[in-house]
């Protein structure tokens, strides 16, 4: 961060970086693969989403109270994006996250709607616990996952029609991987992201998943979803040649991490109703080193 940055703005970015580093994620946050100059801005975006996620999913508040809190979070977003020229976005918005985020949005010209889309997904989490069709689930991914990739592209100055589609494919693929990985966690909430049309197609009912019934049918259902997810990773292969080298490394690491989770699901024979597959340190090291080696050439993901 430039030494000329105001102390309160510098502290706001530090807060976001501390938050990002304190949460474990499957995929890199403010990764060392990214240029140092962008890490505080990635952290600001992460902090915005992390707080919203906690509002939507943590604690004992009712669904209505969560939606009210998310709308207050949205009001602070608007204040940060529409502060008068020369005014402090953080002072307008009232939270340190928005002091940093407002600066990031303004500095890189990131479309405000991307952040509203993310909030729409969090609001939807308070209203909907099951999805009837795969298309309906993809519409959720459009708000919950795809904006993240587009925001990162905007930070690199590479968000355009050519990069948006493969970025959306990668982000949707990652979101789907997370759904299949977290079945054992989500079913206790109780929440089900496996499309109900597919659940019935394999002779099951939603309660079979929610009650954790590990059967041949549930494993076959998950095998179908895993294979379907790979299509999105294949569609994402068009993205790396369109972005700078450092971002190409990050994308390769994320791409490999997503595919490795799918491999983990396969290795435990698609039994995700009782056990959540995770990446070990060795997995993460292989993902990181593979990204660096792959990125040293000009091949895709």
CATH number at residue 276: 1.10.600.10
Q: How confident is the model at residue 287 (pLDDT cuts 50, 70, 90)?
A: very low
Query: Number of structural domains, the chain?
Result: 2
Q: Which two tokens stand for residue 92?
A: 């307008």
Residues 229 and 181 placed together within one structural domain of the fold: yes
Q: How confident is the model at residue 299 (pLDDT cuts 50, 70, 90)?
A: very low
Q: How confident is the model at residue 35 (pLDDT cuts 50, 70, 90)?
A: confident
Residue-wise pLDDT tens digits, 224-273: 999 999 999 999 999 988 999 989 988 888 898 899 999 999 999 999 99
Residue at 121 is within a domain: no
Residue at 118 is within a domain: no
Region of poorest pLDDT, from 22-26, 121-125, 213-217, 225-229: 22-26
Residue-wise pLDDT tens digits, 86-120: 444 444 446 899 999 999 999 999 999 999 999 99
For the segment 17-30, the average pLDDT, to the nearest whole number, is 65
pTM of the model: 0.87
Residues 197 and 293 placed together within one structural domain of the fold: yes
Residue-wise pLDDT tens digits, 162-186: 999 999 999 999 999 999 999 999 9
Region of poorest pLDDT, from 56-60, 187-191, 279-283: 279-283
| pLDDT score of 289 | 46
Residues 154 and 245 placed together within one structural domain of the fold: yes
| pLDDT score of 87 | 46
Residues 206 and 275 placed together within one structural domain of the fold: yes
Q: Which of 77, 110, 143 is the last residue of a domain?
A: 110
Residue at 1 is within a domain: no
Residues 146 and 257 placed together within one structural domain of the fold: yes
| pLDDT score of 82 | 84
Please determine, for residue 64, whether its predicted confidence score (pLDDT) is greater than 70.
yes
Region of poorest pLDDT, from 47-56, 116-125, 243-252: 243-252
Among 243, 70, 227, which residue's Cα sits nearest to residue 149?
A: 243
Q: Which domain holds residue 218?
A: 128-301
Residues 42 and 166 placed together within one structural domain of the fold: no
Residues 150 and 297 placed together within one structural domain of the fold: yes
């Amino acid at each position: 961060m430039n030494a000329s940055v105001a102390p309160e703005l510098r502290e706001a970015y530090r807060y976001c970086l501390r938050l990002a580093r304190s949460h474990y994620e499957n995929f890199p946050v403010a990764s060392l693969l990214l240029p140092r100059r962008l890490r505080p801005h990635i952290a600001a975006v992460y902090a915005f989403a992390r707080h919203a996620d906690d509002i939507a999913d943590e604690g004992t508040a009712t669904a209505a109270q969560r939606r009210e809190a998310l709308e207050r979070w949205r009001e602070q977003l608007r204040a940060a994006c529409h502060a008068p020229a020369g005014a402090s976005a953080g002072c307008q918005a009232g939270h340190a996250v928005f002091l940093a985020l407002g600066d990031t949005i303004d500095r890189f010209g990131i479309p405000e709607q991307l952040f509203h889309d993310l909030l729409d997904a969090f609001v939807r989490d308070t209203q909907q616990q099951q999805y009837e069709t795969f298309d309906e689930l993809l519409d959720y991914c459009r708000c919950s996952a795809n904006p993240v990739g587009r925001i990162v592209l905007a930070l690199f100055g590479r968000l355009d029609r050519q990069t948006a589609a493969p970025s959306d494919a990668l982000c949707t693929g990652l979101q789907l991987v997370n759904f299949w990985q977290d079945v054992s966690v989500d079913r206790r909430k109780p929440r089900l992201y496996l499309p109900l049309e597919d659940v019935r197609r394999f002779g099951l009912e939603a309660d079979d998943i929610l009650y954790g019934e590990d059967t041949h049918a549930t494993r076959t259902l998950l095998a179908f979803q895993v294979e379907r997810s790979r299509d999105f990773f294949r569609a994402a292969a068009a993205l790396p040649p369109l972005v700078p080298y450092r971002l190409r490394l990050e994308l390769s690491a994320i791409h490999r991490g997503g595919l490795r989770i799918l491999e983990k699901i396969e290795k435990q024979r698609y039994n995700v109703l009782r056990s959540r597959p995770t990446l070990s340190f060795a997995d993460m090291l292989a993902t990181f080193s593979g990204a660096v080696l792959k990125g040293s050439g000009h091949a895709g993901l």
